[in-house]
Structures are given as structure tokens and as C-alpha cells.
């Protein structure tokens, strides 16, 4: 199979790199085994991605749709963060972890529909300096990357070299409406801006059209297809393994000090081992840290008798992530005060789940959960008004002092999935089968909160599960991990007895 030559210039970092000699350049391409002739199998997501491309193309008939993967992002100087494609690109191509920096998917309108082309930088032949001198793309630096034919076999999409993309983007701009996913790649956004100006395309109207496209790409992902549900199930199963490993190592986390970091590391090890990575920074919050909602500093002690609020999710290779929280008694049993708070949150979660069914709105899940939260706060004498008064969104809201966040969000390729969906299609929309959301009420009593009795201060509890809406209710995808407090204690004891 022939390889595309590139115009790569050897990367020269003058302060530390030794220039390559001419004899080296002549010697380095020789004596390597040929690349395999056999093409790779299609990606597991490829068939679903083809259906998604077709539906998207039908929604934007006659228009050129441009969805970049995005580029590598420098962490510092010449070292990059690990690559993650834009989620819309992953969703439409089936490409997941590490693939494919700088690639662009173009859906070009034709007389009969759309033709998809994936533009990317195919590996260069070994005669090209890319092979040995390009730290971002070269085989000696980042491994063997795909040829055009291999990428096409993986994705089921026709592929072309990225060098042909600018021509495809610029073609006939005054006659063809182009929609670009602008946030994915700033360079392409800037290039298209210039091209549109040259072609006298109304910039403001084009930006609005691009924005509509961004929203459509988000809303198209609201209900998950069977492939996505399988991946999310796997992410939840892998996450349960990580939580079990954390429980097994809790005594060690206490013993070593800086135990929050230890458990973050243990979970991260399993996330990386089972899947691609963590789907978001793990929250490992012990004691009063549990009352900081996004506690990702994780530099605290884990002390006997405290709770550990652990909010963590494995992201699988296809980039779908779980998002699960368990609040665990570090020594294996809840104190009476911890159990009182925990049981209130558990009842709120159950109420939220009971409201999670077709016909109900997304916002009904939150309403059901916070009603239980407010009722408990009233019963404990903490609310300055009745629970009903507090639940009035304009004149109340007092209960929010102790649960300031929402109960749910959509979950998928992004932990907060479908973020561009409009309110009428998100918060105010009816739940539909296939939608995957979290249910995650909590109660947070800061150590500095003088309005709560001393026994509750420093206790923070969140319980978070991932559910899929079914025809007549919901199914808990994260059911591997116990929630009931007795079951949690028994589960922890059984892990420690192994
Ligand atoms: N882990 C972030 C969240 O629960 O939304
Ligand atoms: Mn969540
Ligand atoms: Mn979470």
C-alpha cells in the first residue's frame, strides 16, 4: 500500500536537539518490515455512527457540514495533553481515545444526499522526516498511525489527506451553505471566517447558522442508541470495580496519610486499566471536604470515623463515561448522625428515580428529590419556613443552602452531556426512552454552618446513580454498587474479609 508523503520539516529544538546528519537520513528509512497488508476491522461504533451521520445530513439537506476533531493542546512548550477528540466528532465517526488529532469530518451535499469524507494526516512513509523527527505525529515518537486505507476500514468513511481539506472547505462558498462546529478547532474557524469574507458570505448569519448546528449536534445525542447504552453499561461496571478497589484500600489510605490522594490514585489506576481514563476529575472528599461540591484537590487525610464522598467515573475507550457517587463510612459503619443524613439523601434519590419515566419532565426528577430534602430539613427544624414555602421557587429556596446543585444531568460521551441543548429540549423536556441521566441528590452541612446542630456539622452526603429511561420507568445502570446503608456496610465488610 502506498503511503502519502508529507511536507513535514524535521522538528528542531535548537537548545537541545542534535541535527540529523545526511548519512543518518539516508540510513534511517532502510531495513524495516513492510506495514501489514491486512486492513483493521471496523470500529464497534462504526455502524451506529453511520446512522447518526445519515440523520444529521437529512436534517441539514443541501448544506456542507464540517465537524473537526480538534488539535493537540499544549500542556507546556512541546509537550501536549493526551488527545481527546471533540465529542461530536467521536459521535459521528466512532473514533474514540487518542484518535485523531487535526482530523475533520465533512458531509458534502450531493444530488442524492451527502457524501462523508474524513480528512486526516495519514502516516508518512519512512522516507519522510515525520517518521523519526516529528514528535507529534512521527512513528518513532507516537507509534504507527493509520494510512488512508486503514482509517477508512476502521471508520467505514472515505478518507482523504488533510492537505486536501482546505480546498474542500473553500469550494463554491458563495453557493453552498456551510455549517461548522466552531468550538472544535480555532484554526479552522478562523480559516473559514476568512474564506467566508472573501466569498462575501454574511458573517453574522453564518455564525448564527453555526450556532444552530452546535445546538443540533447536542440535541441529537439526548437519547442514546443501543451501542451507546452498551458502552455506558460497561463504564458503570468498570466504575464499580474501581470503587471496590478503593474500599479494599481504605485502611491503607488512612495509614499512609493524604488518603484522599491515595484513593484518587487507586480509582485512577483502575480507570486507566479498564478504560481510557477517568471521565472527569475524581472527587475524593473526606470529612468536611465532602461539603465542597467539586472537591478535586483531594489533598486531605482520611480519618477513622469520617465519611468519604467519592464521585468518580470510568471513561471507556469509546469515551462514554459513568458518573457515580457513593458516600462511605471510612471505618465500615455509619454513626447515627451520618446514617440520619444518608437515609434522607437515599429517600430523595428514590423519589427522583420514581419520577424518572416517560411523560414526566427532566425537571420533575429534581422536583421530586428536593421535595424529600426539604421535608427532612423541615422535620429537623432547620428551615426558617415550611418545606412547601421553601419549595416555592420565587419566594422560597431556603433548602438550597444545603443542596445548592441540581439533581440530574444528561450523561454520555461528556459527563455533562448535551450541554448545548436548549432549555425546552433539556430541563423542560419530557423524558424519552434511551435518555441517560444521573440522579444525585445530596445534603451538605459545612463545619462552619452555625444554623445546623453540632452533630451534623462536617457531614456531607451525595448518592449518585446513572439511569436510562425505559418505556415505563427507568433502569439503574450503576446498580452494581450498593446504596442502602446496611448493604453498604455489609459490602465493605465483605471486601475487607477477602
Ligand atoms: N461529577 C460531577 C457531577 O456529578 O456532575
Ligand atoms: Mn453527576
Ligand atoms: Mn458525579
**Which atom belonging to ligand 1 lies closest to the Cα atom of 313?**
1
Residue 415 Cα, ligand 1 centroid: separation in angstroms?
7
Q: What is the pLDDT of residue 16?
A: 83
For the chain, what is the mean pLDDT? 96
Give the span between the Cα atoms of 450 and 456, in whole angstroms.
Answer: 10
pLDDT band at residue 13 under the 50/70/90 scheme = low
Q: Are residues 204 and 269 in the same domain?
A: no
Q: For the segment 91-107, what is each residue's pLDDT rounded down to a tens digit? A: 999 999 999 999 999 99
Q: Are residues 260 and 343 in the same domain?
A: yes
Domain end: 171, 201, 219, which one? 219
141 lines ligand 1 (CB under 6 A): no
Give the span between the Cα atoms of 490 and 477, in whole angstroms.
Answer: 21
Q: Are residues 263 and 191 in the same domain?
A: no
Q: Is the pLDDT of residue 74 over 60?
A: yes
Q: Whole-prediction pTM value?
A: 0.96
**How large is the average pLDDT for residues 51-56?**
98
The string of DSSP codes covering 302-356 is: --TT-EEEEEE-EE-TT--B--EEEEEETTSS--HHHHHHHHHHHHHHHHHHHT-
465 lines ligand 1 (CB under 6 A): no
440 lines ligand 1 (CB under 6 A): yes
Q: Is the pLDDT of residue 15 over 90?
A: no
Longest alpha-carbon distance in the chain: 84
Identify the three-state secondary structure at position 255. helix
417 lines ligand 1 (CB under 6 A): no
Q: Are residues 164 and 302 in the same domain?
A: no
311 lines ligand 1 (CB under 6 A): yes
Of 100, 228, 311, 465, which residue is the catalytic one? Answer: 311
Q: For the segment 272-314, what is each residue's pLDDT rounded down to a tens digit? A: 999 999 999 999 999 999 999 999 999 999 999 999 999 999 9
Of 126, 398, 409, 483, which residue is the catalytic one? Answer: 409
Residue 440 Cα, ligand 3 centroid: separation in angstroms?
7
Give me the CATH number covering residue 449.
3.90.230.10
Residue 289 among the catalytic residues: no
Residue among 214, 219, 234 at smallest CA distance from 44: 234
Domain for residue 201, yes or no? yes
Cβ neighbours, 10 Å, residue 433 = 15
Q: Are residues 253 and 390 in the same domain?
A: yes
Q: Alpha helix (H) ranges present in 39-185?
A: 46-59, 87-93, 130-133, 139-142, 148-155, 165-170
Residue 484 among the catalytic residues: no
Give the span between the Cα atoms of 25 and 10, in whole angstroms.
Answer: 11
Tell me how far apart the terminal alpha carbons of the chain are, to the nearest angstrom: 54
Q: What is the pLDDT of residue 17?
A: 82
Ligand 3 ion local residues (Cβ < 5 A)? 311, 323, 464
Residue 444 among the catalytic residues: yes
Q: What is the pLDDT of residue 1?
A: 42
Q: Is the pLDDT of residue 407 over 90?
A: yes
Q: For the segment 441-477, what is each residue's pLDDT rounded down to a tens digit? A: 999 999 999 999 999 999 999 999 999 999 999 999 9
- Which residue range forms the structural domain that includes residue 261? 226-496
Q: Are residues 171 and 319 in the same domain?
A: no
Domain for residue 12, yes or no? no
Q: What is the pLDDT of residue 2?
A: 43
Give me the CATH number covering residue 146.
3.40.350.10
Q: What is the pLDDT of residue 193?
A: 97
Residue among 229, 163, 223, 484 at smallest CA distance from 350: 484
Cβ neighbours, 10 Å, residue 296 = 15
Q: Is the pLDDT of residue 19 over 60?
A: yes
Q: Are residues 162 and 274 in the same domain?
A: no
Report whether 428 contacts 361 (CB < 8 A).
yes
Residue among 79, 162, 68, 97 at smallest CA distance from 124: 162
Residue 440 among the catalytic residues: yes
Q: What is the pLDDT of residue 6?
A: 53
Identify the three-state secondary structure at position 77. coil
Q: For the segment 316-356, what is each residue's pLDDT rounded down to a tens digit? A: 999 999 999 999 999 999 999 999 999 999 999 999 999 99
Residue 367 Cα, ligand 3 centroid: separation in angstroms?
19
Q: Are residues 418 and 462 in the same domain?
A: yes
Q: Are residues 237 and 214 in the same domain?
A: no
Identify the three-state secondary structure at position 403. coil
Q: Are residues 210 and 231 in the same domain?
A: no
Domain for residue 3, yes or no? no
**Which atom belonging to ligand 1 lies closest to the Cα atom of 462?**
4
Buried/exposed 352-375: b ≥16 CB within 10 Å, e otherwise: bbbbbbeebebbbbbbbbbbbbbb
Cβ-based neighbours of 52, under 8 Å, separated by 6 or more:
91, 92, 220, 225
Report whether 246 contacts 315 (CB < 8 A).
no
Q: Which residues pair with 116 in a beta bridge?
A: 107
Strand 465-469 with 436-439, pairing = antiparallel
Residue 311 among the catalytic residues: yes
Q: Are residues 167 and 42 in the same domain?
A: yes
Q: Are residues 95 and 148 in the same domain?
A: yes
> What is the number of structural domains in the chain?
2
Cis peptide before 100 (omega within 30 of 0): yes
Domain for residue 131, yes or no? yes
Domain end: 219, 253, 277, which one? 219
Amino acid at each position: 500500500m502506498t503511503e502519502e508523503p508529507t511536507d513535514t520539516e524535521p522538528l528542531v529544538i535548537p537548545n537541545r536537539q542534535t541535527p540529523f546528519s545526511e548519512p543518518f537520513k539516508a540510513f534511517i528509512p532502510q531495513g524495516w518490515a513492510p506495514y501489514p497488508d491486512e486492513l483493521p476491522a471496523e470500529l464497534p461504533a462504526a455502524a451506529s455512527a453511520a446512522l447518526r451521520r445519515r440523520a444529521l445530513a437529512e436534517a441539514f439537506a443541501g448544506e456542507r457540514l464540517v465537524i473537526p476533531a480538534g488539535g493537540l493542546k499544549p500542556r507546556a512548550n512541546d509537550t501536549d495533553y493526551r488527545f481527546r477528540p471533540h465529542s461530536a466528532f467521536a459521535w459521528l465517526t466512532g473514533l474514540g481515545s487518542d484518535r485523531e488529532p487535526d482530523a475533520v469530518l465533512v458531509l458534502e451535499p450531493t444530488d442524492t444526499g451527502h457524501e462523508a469524507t474524513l480528512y486526516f494526516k495519514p502516516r508518512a512513509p519512512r522516507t519522510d522526516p515525520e517518521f523519526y523527527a516529528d514528535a507529534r505525529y512521527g512513528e518513532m515518537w507516537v507509534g504507527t498511525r493509520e494510512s488512508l486505507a486503514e482509517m477508512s476500514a476502521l471508520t467505514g468513511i472515505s478518507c482523504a489527506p488533510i492537505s486536501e481539506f482546505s480546498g474542500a472547505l473553500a469550494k463554491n462558498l458563495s453557493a453552498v451553505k456551510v455549517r461548522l462546529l466552531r468550538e472544535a478547532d480555532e484554526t479552522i474557524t478562523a480559516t473559514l471566517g476568512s474564506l467566508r469574507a472573501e466569498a462575501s458570505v454574511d458573517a453574522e448569519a453564518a455564525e448564527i447558522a453555526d450556532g444552530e448546528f452546535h445546538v443540533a449536534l447536542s440535541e441529537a445525542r439526548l437519547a442514546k442508541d443501543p451501542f451507546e447504552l452498551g458502552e455506558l453499561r460497561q463504564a458503570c461496571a468498570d466504575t464499580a470495580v474501581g470503587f471496590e478497589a478503593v474500599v479494599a484500600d481504605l485502611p491503607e489510605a488512612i495509614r499512609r496519610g493524604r488518603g484522599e490522594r491515595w484513593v484518587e490514585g487507586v480509582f485512577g489506576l483502575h480507570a486507566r486499566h479498564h478504560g481510557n481514563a477517568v471521565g472527569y476529575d475524581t472527587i475524593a472528599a473526606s470529612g468536611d471536604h465532602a461539603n465542597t461540591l467539586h472537591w478535586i484537590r483531594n489533598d486531605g487525610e482520611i480519618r477513622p470515623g469520617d465519611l468519604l464522598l467519592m464521585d468518580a467515573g470510568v471513561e471507556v475507550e469509546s469515551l462514554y463515561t459513568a458518573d457515580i457517587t457513593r458516600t462511605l463510612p471510612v471505618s465500615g459503619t455509619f454513626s447515627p448522625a451520618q446514617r440520619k443524613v444518608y437515609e434522607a439523601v437515599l429517600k430523595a434519590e428514590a423519589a427522583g428515580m420514581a419520577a424518572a419515566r416517560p411523560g414526566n419532565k427532566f425537571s420533575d426528577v429534581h422536583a421530586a428529590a428536593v421535595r424529600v430534602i426539604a421535608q427532612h430539613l423541615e422535620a429537623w427544624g432547620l428551615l426558617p419556613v415550611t418545606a412547601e414555602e421553601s419549595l416555592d421557587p420565587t419566594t422560597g429556596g431556603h433548602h438550597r443552602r444545603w443542596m445548592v446543585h441540581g439533581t440530574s444531568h444528561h450523561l454520555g460521551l461528556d459527563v455533562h452531556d448535551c450541554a448545548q441543548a436548549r432549555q425546552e429540549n433539556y430541563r423542560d423536556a419530557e423524558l424519552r426512552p434511551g435518555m441517560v441521566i444521573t440522579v444525585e441528590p445530596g445534603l451538605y452541612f459545612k463545619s462552619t454552618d452555625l444554623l445546623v446542630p453540632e452533630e451534623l456539622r462536617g457531614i456531607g452526603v451525595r448518592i449518585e446513580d446513572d439511569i436510562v429511561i425505559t418505556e415505563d420507568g427507568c433502569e439503574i445502570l450503576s446498580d452494581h454498587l450498593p446504596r442502602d446503608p446496611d448493604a453498604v456496610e455489609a459490602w465493605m465488610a465483605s471486601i475487607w474479609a477477602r
